[in-house]
Chains A and B, each alone.
Chain A
Amino acid sequence: MWARRSEVRAERDKRRNFKQTPPASDLHQNYKLIVYINVEQNLQNLFKKAIYQPESRLPGDIFSLIELKKAKITKIKKFGYLGLSILSLSGSVFSIWGLIEQSTQLGFFKYLSLAFSDGGIIATYWKEYTLSLVDSLPVASLGMSLFLLFVLFISIRGISYQFKNKILIA
């Protein structure tokens, strides 16, 4: 009985001692880790202290610069769209004028008026009628006119967008 108690006590002391004094290699590793953490912490603190601070007006200056650039771009776009719309408008006028003249020369309007005056003939000879109508159409002029009208539409939309933006910002 006594022998067994002493054995148990010896075993317990052995475990306790092991907990209190870990092997030398473990101690060394822990020390290295602590030093490493301290080094990291100190380095971090040192770097944080060494940060260069900008002048307090710099963010405001940057924002103003961006606003200035934005205004400049808006102005360029506005004048660009305005010029484009004037050019496309005058181009469209001439192009439509030419389209009407060419259509008259080729007899397009005569063929067209036939559709309203005598529906019966057209119903009978619709194939020939369609071919004649297409043949009398000045395709190049029509294409040019449509293109210029499209450019005019885009430029007017661009101008209105720029004005809308300006009103929103204001």
Chain B
Amino acid sequence: MENSDEVLINEYITGEEKSLKIIIDRYTPSIYNFSVRFVGIENANDITQDVFLKVWKNIKKFNSDKASFKTWIFKIARNTITDYLRKKKSIHFSSLNTEEEIYGENIPDESMLQDEVFSKLEDTELLNKILDTIPVGYREVLILYYQEDMTFKEIGEMLGKPLNTVKSYHHRALLLLREEFV
């Protein structure tokens, strides 16, 4: 049976080196994929390494009562990517904050999303291309929700945003995807 993240962290803190290796093996693909989406393939390895270095340095500060390890590590990844983009003076995640204030509480009915466009989709390359064009704030919600199987609540905890705002981002991201696909 697989040990939970929290058990592995406790084991590592008490001196079990192998537990850290298991955590790295478990989360490298997710963090790498998340990084590629925002910094590109050429920089994703460095960002992933930075993320795990930060995790290792701060592992004793992790508190499972506050958030799950998955939420915590993605928060670190997001901050690392933001720092990187800021250094490069590119746009960053917080660019959507002002927009959120306008639309935050105005969540449209999800049934509006029904569209046969999506049901015909099979082209992953096209999806990747379109994902690159949509705003980073929307992109991260889509990736965390569909690729990392995180709930809206977890995404909200990670981004530090209310549940409704996350749902709103998701909805608008889907609308943008649909527009691009059409």
Interface residues of A (CB under 8 A from B): 32-33, 35-36, 38-39, 42-44, 46-55, 58-59, 61-63, 65-66, 69, 168-169
Q: List 18 A-B contacts (CB under 8 A).
A: A32-B111, A36-B113, A38-B119, A39-B115, A42-B119, A43-B121, A43-B174, A46-B124, A47-B127, A47-B142, A48-B146, A49-B124, A50-B127, A52-B33, A52-B41, A52-B44, A59-B25, A169-B17
B residues apposed to A, CB below 8 Å: 15, 17, 20-21, 24-25, 28-29, 32-33, 36-37, 41, 44-45, 48-49, 52-53, 56, 110-111, 113-116, 118-119, 121-122, 124, 127-128, 131, 142-143, 146-147, 174
B118 → chain A, closest Cβ, in Å? 4
Whether A52 touches B119, Cβ cut-off 8 Å, given contacts A47-B147, A63-B24, is no
Indicate if the CB atoms of A62 and B118 lie closer than 8 Å: no
Interface of A is mostly: helix
Instruction: List, in ascending order, chain B residues with CB within 8 A of A168's CB.
Output: 15
Instruction: Verify B114–A39 contact, CB threshold 8 A.
Output: yes
Contact of A36 with B111 at beta-carbon distance under 8 Å, contacts A44-B146, A62-B28 already known: yes
Q: Which of B48, B53, B113, B118 contacts A42 (CB 8 A)?
A: B118
Kindly identify which residue among A39, A52, A55 contacts B36, using a CB–CB cutoff of 8 Å. A52
The minimal Cβ–Cβ distance linking A23 to chain B, given in whole angstroms, is 18
Q: Which residues of B contact A36 (CB under 8 A)?
A: 110-111, 113-114
> Shortest distance in angstroms between A38's beta carbon and chain B's nearest beta carbon?
5
Cβ-defined contact, A65 with B53, below 8 A? yes
Instruction: Give Cα A69 to B50, complex, Å.
Output: 12
Cβ of B174: which chain A residues have Cβ within 8 Å of it? Answer: 43
Indicate if the CB atoms of A39 and B119 lie closer than 8 Å.
Answer: yes
CB distance from B24 to the nearest CB of A (A): 5
Q: Is the CB of B24 within 8 A of A59?
A: yes
Tell whether, in the assembled complex, residue A46 and residue B33 are in contact, meaning their CB atoms are under 8 Å apart.
no
Nearest-neighbour CB distance to chain B for A130, whole angstroms, equals 49
Are A54 and B146 in contact, with the CB atoms below 8 A? no
